[in-house]
Structure 1
Amino acid sequence: MTQKKVTLLLVDDEKMNTMILSRRLRKEGFDIDEAGDGQQAVASVLNKHKPDLILMDLMMPVMDGWEATKQIKQKFPDVKIIAVSAKVDEEFHTIEQGFDGFCAKPINFKVLIKKIEQVLNLDSAA
């Protein structure tokens, strides 16, 4: 049985964070696209292809994750987006604003994988 590869879009202005996370997620079998800010993320989703899930940093230059998520959800309300932030008190607000999940920085990789599986309804036992 062939299983479709899950595509994630990592959106973060911290290149080192993106590089490390991208490498680890690829080892887990995910296809990875990257964007350095919210504006690039919106352009990527509109012009390339819609990812299965977006990991969206909230605080970035040019366009923050809040605005990028708003624009993406207007066009693609079904796209799944997990907010990523060091400000854990923002978790409640992210759900109010249409995010599908929240992951605190610094990222605990095991927690992130569980959150991705939960948001995408992936059965890790399959």
Structure 2
Amino acid sequence: MKKSKRVVIVDDNIDITEVFADIFELTGNKVVGIGHDGRDALELFLKHKPDFIFIDVMMPVMNGIEALKAIKENEPNAKVIMVTADNSTNTIKELEKLNATAIIFKPFKIEDIINIIEKFED
């Protein structure tokens, strides 16, 4: 029996956070926090120390790239999955340079999200 994972979801689109939350709950994982900007991402990560955090790249206040950088400074081994519609080379290179665990491109399939968690199981 695989161990349930603790997940934080951060996206400025509330519909997307709800879809992700439903997927994780249905697959036996626990959503421990939902946020809507990069500052939320950092605060929720530090508070909950989740197994995975999913962060949208384009968000208000602090964008996902800034949040990724701040999280990795606090916890270099954090599993941070970035979600973006921007598949430009510059964005991909920046996310790789900051050591994002994985990148999911919008529009995504539900299987993509489930596969990411299974791929990085400890």
TM-score, normalising length from structure 1? 0.86
Deviation track 1:31-75 (CA, whole Å, cap 9, x = no partner) reads 0121111101111122x2200011110000000000111111111
User: Helix, strand or coil for the counterpart of 2:7?
Assistant: strand
Match runs of 1:1-126 below 5 Å: 3-32=2-31, 33-46=33-46, 48-89=47-88, 90-118=91-119, 120-121=120-121
CA contact (8 A) 2:4 2:28 kept: yes
User: Helix, strand or coil for the counterpart of 1:88?
Assistant: coil
Root mean square deviation of aligned Cα: 1.5
CA distance in 2, matches of 1:18, 1:52: 17
Amino acid across the alignment from 1:34 = I
Q: Percent identity?
A: 33
* CA apart distance, 1:106: 1.3
User: Helix, strand or coil for the counterpart of 1:41?
Assistant: helix
Amino acid across the alignment from 1:62 = V
Gaps of 5+ in 1: none
Q: How many residues align?
A: 119
Amino acid across the alignment from 2:45 = V
Amino acid across the alignment from 2:92 = E
Amino acid across the alignment from 1:60 = M
CA distance in 2, matches of 1:112, 1:85: 13
Gaps of 5+ in 2: none
